[in-house]
A = this chain, B = another copy of it.
Amino acid sequence: MAGNTFGQLFRITTFGESHGVAIGVILDGCPAQLPIDLEFIQSELDKRRPGQSKITTQRKESDTVQILSGTFEGKSTGTPIAMLIPNEDQRSKDYSHNTDVYRPSHADYTYDAKYGIRDHRGGGRSSARETAARVAAGAIAKLLLKHHGIEVFAHVSAVGKIDAPNLEGDNIAELLATREDNIVRCADPATAHQMIEFIDSVRKDGDTVGGKVSCIVKNCPVGLGDPVFDKLHADLGKAMLSINAVHGFEYGSGFGGSEMRGSEHNDIFLANEGQPKTLTNFSGGIQGGISNGMEINFTVAFKPVATIMHNQQTINAAGEAAEIKGKGRHDPCVVPRAVVIVEAMAALVLADHLLRNKTSKL
């Protein structure tokens, strides 16, 4: 129950600290016979990798993934798929000046209190470096979804107060090309330009800023999600809230829906051959916790990164006043690198429910 496992049937367990030997993941429950495309897994990791542009941390990690088990001749065998990502640029000395103080809005104090022991090297297990393991496993989840025609797409929908317009168009390949065409990973080029300029100015201030990532899922079959506790959006919400720095989650009409009336919010079913469609989609593709075949959409709010280049007042482990210097390497805004993490976690939830749904009826 130590909380390092996610998913029920398509289940991952991650390990590793930011400044240890390696991080990694065991994926258990991947069905046999799925082609495992190592290049695709690596390309996903490359989107999360530090040092990829001027608006991300300059920590250098190639994040090269190695598969240790669970595949044979390029396909999954049904046994656990273990993946390892060695840590390269550990540079623990960057952190040696902070061994005794609690960095504000970091996990230093809570870990110390909980475990009575503190790996002060860059946050240890609380570092967002752990999410690389999720991206590797999420890439395999995406391969499984793709096999079933399901597509997951996320992009940066806000940086600070700069909001992108809602996504238009149904072509994920096109959206993806547009998104990858700019370093902030927003699918709207004009907004992307503004966001990049803003992040760069924040970076020059030695400061950080928050943002949002929005995600859509296309071609999700009807029936994923379980009633009551494991509603599809509840599992998506938990998945997103488990990502470092996330402070909010909404799907469909979201917080705005709380201001609406039922008569405008209800999604009217349209007479249709084949699978029903609805006129509007305030339900966000999920009704009663179960996917209804419409586009699933949700948004995730990220707080600003806590590591800043300013000196800050704080306390040490003895409770005494101390000052923390603004050193180290960090992201001025986490959302460009978080896009692929959001997609990975969404893919893991969907893959899990895809398998779970296989036993819903005789």
Contacts and interface: CB of A to CB of B under 8 A. Distances in A.
Given A77-B119, A260-B303, A9 B359 contact: yes
Count of this chain's copies in the oligomeric assembly: 4
B1 A80 contact: no
B248 A4 contact: no
Given A78-B360, A237-B241, A69 B15 contact: yes
Contacts of A147: 362
Interface stretch (A52-60, A178-186, A314-322): A314-322
B360 A257 contact: no
B26 A26 contact: yes
A125 interface: yes
A5 interface: yes
A257 B247 contact: yes
For chain A, which range describes its interface: under 10, 10 to 19, 20 to 34, or 35 or more residues? 35 or more
A231 interface: yes
Nearest to A80: B15
A33 B116 contact: yes
A271 interface: yes
Contacts of A271: 315, 319-321
A42 B320 CA distance: 43
B255 A247 contact: yes
A218 interface: no
Interface in A225-267: 225-231, 233-235, 237-239, 241-242, 247-255, 257-263, 265-267
A207 interface: yes
A101 to B, nearest CB: 9
Given A110-B291, A124-B79, A259-B160, A276 B102 contact: yes
Contacts of A356: 1
A315 B260 CA distance: 24
Contacts of A252: 247, 303
* A29, A31, A259, A356 — most chain B CB neighbours (10 Å): A259
Interface string A16-50: 11001111101011011110000000000000000
Interface in A161-205: 161, 202
A238 B234 CA distance: 5
A217 interface: no
A149 interface: no
Contacts of A257: 210, 247-248, 301-304
Nearest to A35: B362
B13 A207 contact: no
A231 to B, nearest CB: 5
A150 interface: no
Interface in A305-346: 305-308, 310, 312-315, 319-321
A360 to B, nearest CB: 5
Nearest to A252: B247
Contacts of A301: 250, 254-255, 257-258
9 contacts: A17-B77, A77-B124, A147-B362, A210-B257, A233-B247, A237-B249, A247-B258, A248-B255, A260-B304
Interface of A: 1-6, 8-9, 11, 13-17, 20-24, 26, 28-29, 31-34, 66-70, 72, 75-82, 84, 102, 104-107, 109-111, 113-119, 124-126, 130, 147, 158, 160-161, 202, 207-212, 222-223, 225-231, 233-235, 237-239, 241-242, 247-255, 257-263, 265-274, 276, 278, 282-284, 287-292, 301-308, 310, 312-315, 319-321, 355-362
